[in-house]
Structures are given as C-alpha cells and as structure tokens.
Amino acid sequence: MPDQMTALAFLAPEAPAATAAPSSRPSLVGRTRAGLSAAMAEAGVPERELRMRTSQIWNWVYHHGVRDFSEMRNVGKDLKSALEARFTLRRPEVTASQVSRDGTRKWLLKMQPTGPHDRGAEIECVYIPETDRGTLCVSSQVGCTLTCTFCHTGTQRLVRNLTSAEIVAQLMVARDMIGDFPGRTAPTDGLLPGEGSRFVSNIVFMGMGEPLYNADAVTDAIDTIADGDGLSVGRRRITVSTSGVVPEIGPLGARSNAMLAISLHAVRDELRDELVPLNRKYPIRDLLDACRAYPGLSNARRITFEYVMLKGVNDSDADARELVRLLKGIPAKINLIPFNPWPGTRYECSDWDRIERFSDIVFRAGYASPVRTPRGRDILAACGQLKSETEKLSARARMMLDEAGASPSTSPLA
Ligand code: SAH
Ligand code: SF4
C-alpha cells in the first residue's frame, strides 16, 4: 500500500525531530510547485508519488488556504505529521492593518528574518476594492534602489529583494484578512466587491520596489499566483509596472505573459532623467522600442503608460501632445495619476482643471485616458506613498497629514 511505504520513508534517520522550534521550520506558503515538490521529497514522499502528493498539498495550501496541517482532510496522518515535523503554514506577520474611508486596506507585513542580524524586513501591501473587482497591489522589494524624485519608496534606505514566496504570501495574507478562502468570513468594516465578483480579481506589481530588478522571483511568483489549481488569478489580470528596465521587458513578457505598465511620467529625456533617474541608462527611445517588441501586444492587450501629474513640471498642453505623438503605433492605454503627496516632498499635484485639459488632449487623440482616482490617501496607501516606516512618521509629518484632512487609524494587531 503506497501509504504504508511512504510512512516508512518518513522515518528516515536524517529527519529532524518533531519537536523542532516552530520558528526554525520553514513555511510551505508561497512556494512554487518545484519548491513544494522538494519539500515533499524531504518529508519522505517517494519519487513516484511526488507529483500526486504535491498537487494534493498545493490545493490545500492555495485553493483552501488552510493554516494547519490537520485541516488537510484527504491527506494521510503519516504524511501530515511528517510535514508538520519539518514545515509550517506560517504567513508573514501582519503588524499593522488600516482601513481607509473608501474601503482601501493597507497591511504592514513583517517577513521572517533571513539571518541572525535581520529583525525581519517590513513591507506594505494594499487592497483596493471596487463594486465589481478587487485589486491587490503587491511589493516586489523592500524599498527600492531607484530614486525617482516624486516617490516616497525611493527615499527608503534599507533595500532587499523579496523572494517569490514572500511575494505570493502577500496574496495569501490579503485573502486571509478579507476572508477570501472557502468557509471563511468576510470583514464588515469596509467595501468588498459584490456577489459574483472575486474579492481579489487583479494583481498589480505597483507596491514597493522595481519588479524588473527582481525579475526571476516575480516570474516565479506569477506562475504560482496564476496556477489554475490554486490561487488562480489569470495572467491577463496580473500587471507588472516598471520604471523602464529595458533589457528585462521582453524576457518578462516571454516568460510570464503578464500585462505591462510603464511608468513614463515625462516625454523628454531631460525631464525624465530628473524624475526617473534610470532614464539616464535607458532613455525614452530605447524604452519605447522595447514596448513595441513586447510579446503578445494587440488592441485587446495594450501596454498601460502611467503618467503622474506634477504641477508645473510635466503637465502642459505641449507635454500632452508630445505624449500622444510618442506612443503612436503602440497599442496603449494612458493612465493619468494625480500626484500623491507625502511628507517632505517638493512636488505638488497639478490642479484639477489642468489634469482635465491634459486628459482631453489625450482623449481627442483616440486614447481612453482615465484619471486614476487616488484611493486610500488618508492611510498613505496611494501609489508612491508606500514606505515601511510609516509608523515612524514624525509628529510634524502627522500634523501635515491631519491638516490635509486625513485621519489615519492605525490599529496594530501584534
Ligand atoms: N517601481 C515600479 C512599480 C512601483 S511604483 C514603477 O516605478 O513602475 C507604482 C506606480 O506609482 C508607478 O507608476 C510610480 O511612478 C507611481 N508613483 C510613485 N510615486 C507616486 C506618487 N507620489 N504619486 C503618484 N504616483 C506615484
Ligand atoms: Fe522605485 Fe518605482 Fe518608486 Fe521609482 S517609482 S523609486 S522605480 S518604486
């Protein structure tokens, strides 16, 4: 009987004792199929059963979102205890949780320490509900090595890449927090998509970090998130936003089939060099060439160009006309983002009539040009406001936010 044989294998002498401290056991949550399969092998599952067992556990971890091995109903007792002895189903710890007046939710997540001197990096992840969809904005790095002058994340000093498991774990935590696994209860303190809509239908890599500086982990994470037997978010509903790491754009499309967003923000190199310093390495022309060559482009599969509206900096009529000229021939959507201020920034958001005029020029050239309504501004959750030190805001910075009409309601959970 296969189960008996596996049971024997579980008793292999190199197996760690079942009493190992919980924190020393690695988590299975966030692993790729290959990673999960390796864990099964480590737990003694024989080679010929690996595929089947991996699929079984995969389904419990990602479809059901179980938090305890005992919930895995159709898994034999021996395998469950062998897994329990070596692994956990731990998620990153949620150290703060906020709900905006508009229903946007922001979570501060503490990652497992990577070594004795690491106290556990913190990252932010934001959930944006609408009536017919829910978008999760995930981080790909702790902080960002790039220093776009209008972005709060770019001012954070501590930077490291997240692993693919840490990226996937953000979706797991989000679904835990909004009760989006079978049999769980949804919270009642904020908007959630209506009946028939998935709570997390879309993923955008628009949190902290530059995803294409961590492309391997991001593509592995996309494979896990898109897997139809688990988390099951379609690849066309996953968007990777980049400030323009040109050599990684083509490979990302070929490997992940994800949607692409480009943070353009300026139509002349001189200004873009200043706003997005990476432009000095990969200027606008090279960036747009990489866009033209993006695999699978069509009118039904367009690239989104993001353009942050900065008062008196990039918001003139001439800028709008040049934007339209530059994008000619590329299946594109243009997303105008009102600048979200953060404490200490030197920029201001363009006036509303200026944004409308800009949008009008773009619209008349044949592009839908939605102005992205800022969401979660009151909890510093909007684009470009993420920085894992929000809880350490100075008293003065808090006062500035209060004066701007915001009332952050942090509720530390830990
Ligand atoms: N590093 C990637 C993804 C994260 S930033 C990138 O730059 O594309 C996600 C989006 O937020 C980008 O378009 C970025 O330019 C924009 N953004 C950054 N700071 C902002 C701010 N203060 N207000 C509005 N949008 C901002
Ligand atoms: Fe990094 Fe993107 Fe912010 Fe630029 S806009 S500093 S690339 S996170």
Query: Is 22 contained in some domain?
Result: no
Of 139, 162, 204, 263, best ligand 2 pocket probe by most atoms within 8 Å of the beta carbon: 263
Whether ligand 2 lies within 6 angstroms of the CB of 320 is answered as no
Please tell me the predicted confidence (pLDDT) of residue 114.
Answer: 80
User: Among the three residues 16, 51, 86, which one is the final residue of a domain in this structure?
Assistant: 86
Residue 119: pLDDT band (50, 70, 90) is confident
- Residue 260 pLDDT exceeds 90: yes
Residue 67: DSSP 8-state = S
Which helix (H) or strand (E) element contains residue 238? strand 238-242
Atom of ligand 1 at shortest range from CA of 384: 19
Protein residue closest via CA to atom 13 of ligand 1: 263
Same domain, 203 and 62: no
Question: Given this model, what pLDDT does residue 3 score?
Answer: 32
Instruction: Please give the DSSP secondary-structure letter assigned to residue 62.
Output: I
Reported pTM = 0.88
Mean pLDDT, the chain, integer? 86
CA of 338, nearest ligand number: 1
Residues 6+ apart with CB under 8 A from 149: 274, 275, 277, 346, 347
Domain-terminating residue out of 49, 71, 86? 86
Please give the C-alpha separations between residue 364 and each of 65, 279, 310, in angstroms, as whole numbers.
Answer: 47, 28, 21
- Ligand 2 centre from 187 Cα, in Å? 32
Q: Does 244 sit in the ligand 1 pocket, CB within 6 Å?
A: no
* 144 in contact with ligand 2, CB cutoff 6 A: yes
The torsion angle over the Cα atoms of residues 146, 150, 153 and 159, rounded to 10 degrees, is 20
Task: Give the number of whichever ligand sits closest to the CA of residue 143.
Answer: 2
Number of domains making up the chain:
2
Is residue 292 one of the residues assigned to a domain?
A: yes
Q: Is 362 helix (H, G, I), strand (E, B) or coil?
A: helix
The total number of residues written for the chain in this structure: 414
350 lines ligand 2 (CB under 6 A): no
Atom of ligand 2 nearest to the CA of 151: 3
Cα–Cα distances in angstroms (integers) from residue 31 to residues 27, 91, 99, in the given order: 8, 12, 29
Same domain? 146 vs 73: no
pLDDT digits (tens, 9 = 90+) for 305-336: 999 999 999 999 999 999 999 999 999 999 99
Q: Which residue has the higher pLDDT, 341 or 54?
A: 54
Probe ligand 2: pick from 147, 210, 280, 387, max atoms within 8 Å of CB? 210
The answer to whether 378 and 101 are in contact (CB under 8 A) is yes
pLDDT at 116: 77
Q: Are 100 and 62 within one domain?
A: no
Whether 331 is covered by a domain: the verdict is: yes
Question: Residue 198 Cα, ligand 1 centroid: separation in angstroms?
Answer: 26
Instruction: Identify whether residues 279 and 225 lie together within a single domain.
Output: yes
Question: Which residue bears the tokens 């500086």?
Answer: 213
Residue 177 pLDDT grade (very low, low, confident, very high; cuts 50, 70, 90): very high
272 within some domain: yes
Q: Is residue 20 a part of any domain in this protein?
A: no
Instruction: List the catalytic residues.
Output: 124, 383
pLDDT band at 120 (very low <50, low <70, confident <90, very high): confident
- What is the DSSP secondary-structure string of 287-300? HHHHHHT-TT-BTT
User: Does a structural domain hold residue 361?
Assistant: yes
CA 204 from chain centre, in angstroms, equals: 6
Instruction: Looking at the structure, tell me whether residues 357 and 300 fall in a common domain.
Output: yes
Alpha helix (H) residue ranges in 97-163: none
User: Computed from CA positions of residues 338, 393, 273, 327, in that sequence, does the dihedral angle turn out positive or negative?
Assistant: negative
Pick the last residue of a domain from 86, 101, 123. 86
Same domain, 98 and 118: yes
pLDDT value at 271 more than 90:
yes
Q: Is the CB of 78 under 6 A from ligand 2?
A: no
Residue 398 lies in a domain: no
- If you measure from the C-alpha of residue 279 to the centroid of ligand 1, how many angstroms do you get, rounded to a whole number? 15
Pick the residue whose CA is nearest to atom 20 on ligand 1: 384
Residue 142's domain is classified under what CATH number?
A: 3.20.20.70
- Regarding the beta carbon of 275 and ligand 2, being less than 6 Å apart is answered no
Confidence at residue 397, expressed as pLDDT on a 0 to 100 scale: 44
Tokens representing 230? 């688990």
Q: Which residue has the tokens 């000229």?
A: 325
Report whether pLDDT(184) > 50.
yes
End-to-end CA, the chain: 46
Same domain flag for 129 and 270: yes
List the single range of 108-117, 171-180, 256-265 with lowest mean pLDDT.
Answer: 108-117
**How confident is the model at residue 381, as a pLDDT?**
65
Ligand 2 centroid to Cα of residue 32, in Å, is 27
162 shares a domain with 50: no
Query: Whose CA is closest to 79, among 48, 35, 39, 32?
Result: 39
- Asked, for residue 186, whether it belongs to a domain, the answer is yes
For 348-406, the pLDDT digits (tens) are 999 999 999 999 999 999 987 777 777 777 776 665 565 554 334 334 444 444 443 33
Pocket test for ligand 2, best of 123, 151, 241 (most atoms within 8 A of CB): 151
**Pocket flag, ligand 2, residue 386 (CB < 6 Å):** no
Measure 155 CA to ligand 2 centroid, in angstroms.
Answer: 9
State yes or no: pLDDT of 256 exceeds 70.
yes
Provide the total of helices (H) and of strands (E) in the chain, helices listed first: 12, 11
H or E segment to which residue 108 belongs: strand 105-110
Confidence of residue 226 (pLDDT cuts 50, 70, 90): very high
Q: Is residue 121 domain-shared with residue 48, that is, in the same domain?
A: no
Tokens in use for 232? 């099951």
Pair (161, 73) in one structural domain? no
Please report the atom of ligand 2 found closest to the CA of residue 147: 6
Token pair listed for 138: 């995930």
- Tell me, yes or no, whether 158 and 301 share the same domain: yes
Domain with 305 in it? 93-379
For residue 54, give the CATH number of its domain.
Answer: 1.10.150
pLDDT at residue 284 greater than cutoff 80: yes
Residue 102 shares a structural domain with residue 71:
no
- Ligand 1 atom nearest 338 alpha carbon: 24
- The pLDDT of residue 385 is 60
